[in-house]
Amino acid sequence: MANPMADEMRRFKGNDDKNPFEAMSERFDRAARLLGLDPDLYAVLRVPSREIKVYIPVKMDTGHIEVFEGYRVQHNFARGPAKGGIRYAPDVSLDEVKALAAWMTWKCAVVNVPFGGGKGGIVCDPRQMSEGELERLTRRYTAELLDFIGPNKDVPAPDMNTGEQTMAWIMDTFSMHSRHTVNAVVTGKPVALGGSEGRREATGRGLLFTIDEAVRALKLKPSETSVIVQGSGNVGGIGASLMHEKGYKIVGISDISGGIYSPNGLDVPAVLEFLHTTRSLEGYPNAEPVGNAELLELECDVLAPCATENQITLENANKIKCKILAEGANGPTTPGADEILYEKGVFVIPDILANAGGVTVSYFEWVQDRMGYFWSENEVNKRLREAMVASFNELKGFSERHKVDTRTAAYMMAIDRVAYHTKMRGIYA
């Protein structure tokens, strides 16, 4: 029997299913068409507001100068300042940063946070650099962006291979040039420097809250729900730990080198302690070793890819055996896989909702910095849960009313909100 939703999905296949910017654009195009988005608004929203490319000379510990390439893409300002992380990695590309900046626009709109999307990155291998080299790299990158970032312009945050220390360096550099302390220029800072309680756990906690709602919607019980988590870092590790505390049965987890599986459930605190001690899951007792690709294809109730982009593709989507796909990572599923998952009846919690806990608490941090009054961790977590549950229910209701899959519903909701602001503000010319 023909599936009209699958036919609609086929209309928007790009040339490169694994290019992150094409993947984002393909989904944007489909949602915009279903919304009947005005062509003029379509033209504005489909492209970034600004792409910044900088070359960063850094004096290395050896005394020689090395020049690094860096980016900052500011996708949209209609709802507020740009917001998004900065990643340090050898494979950072402009297309990746553009896609992540756009995803941040839609992510903020889905959870109704008054930010636009931004993203940054530097092409480097931080594992091969000393702390001093990383500090000089970060400060010079910040100096190159002084005219473009700020509490009312663009508010960076940590991402892959950056963290609290990186944000502290950015805040200090910006503050030195401003001649006063500006702690609201970044989020994800140490609590002592104006960071928010609960920020480090926020993405994993937000993932838990959306999984709780999906499990409830499918009439499952946490104690009887098996979960596989790909990734054991800030999202996957914390998410797995919080789900374990809640009573979920975590049967599989992985790191960059591979994973482990136990159908009877893993002792997550023991697994994470082993990983912290040995820097690898290899050799963990009382569990079966399994490859990262194979881990995704094992049977479970909830599959949470929390690592990197392009993990579920045309090649392996038919082998996915979960009931709920909770996308803790950005862009873990390619557009080509969407159609297959929809036809299989998998309930997808799309990345622009599932991992929006981080940006939600980043917004809370920005608010606290600007008013100079800070909330307890319980207050932060309570507000986060309210935001994530409300957004999940809005998304589920929108999907059912418009008879579209949950990912398309998320994009439609987000685009509609940003388009409204853009239309009401008008185009300055």
Active-site residues: which are they?
119
What is the residue-wise DSSP string for 160-202? TT--HHHHHHHHHHHHHHHTS--GGG-SS--GGGTPPTTTTTH
Pure H helices in 247-333 = 268-278, 292-296
C-beta of residue 281 within 8 angstroms of C-beta of residue 290: no
C-beta of residue 154 within 8 angstroms of C-beta of residue 148: yes
Burial label for 414, CB within 10 Å (0-12, 13-18, 19+), is: buried
Distance CA 322, CA 19 (A): 25
Q: How many residues does the chain have?
A: 429
C-beta of residue 137 within 8 angstroms of C-beta of residue 124: yes
CB neighbour burial string for 122-158, b if at least 16 within 10 angstroms, e if fewer = bbbebeebeeebbbbbbbbbbebbeeebbbeebbbbb
User: What amino acid occupies position 428?
Assistant: Y
Distance CA 407, CA 5 (A): 12
Distance CA 220, CA 232 (A): 25
| 193 contact partners, CB below 8 Å, separation of at least 6 | 168, 171, 183
What is the residue-wise DSSP string for 271-288? HHHHHHHHSS-TT-TTSE
| 87 contact partners, CB below 8 Å, separation of at least 6 | 119, 120, 121, 122, 159, 160, 161, 162
Question: Which pair of tokens denotes residue 231?
Answer: 């990734």
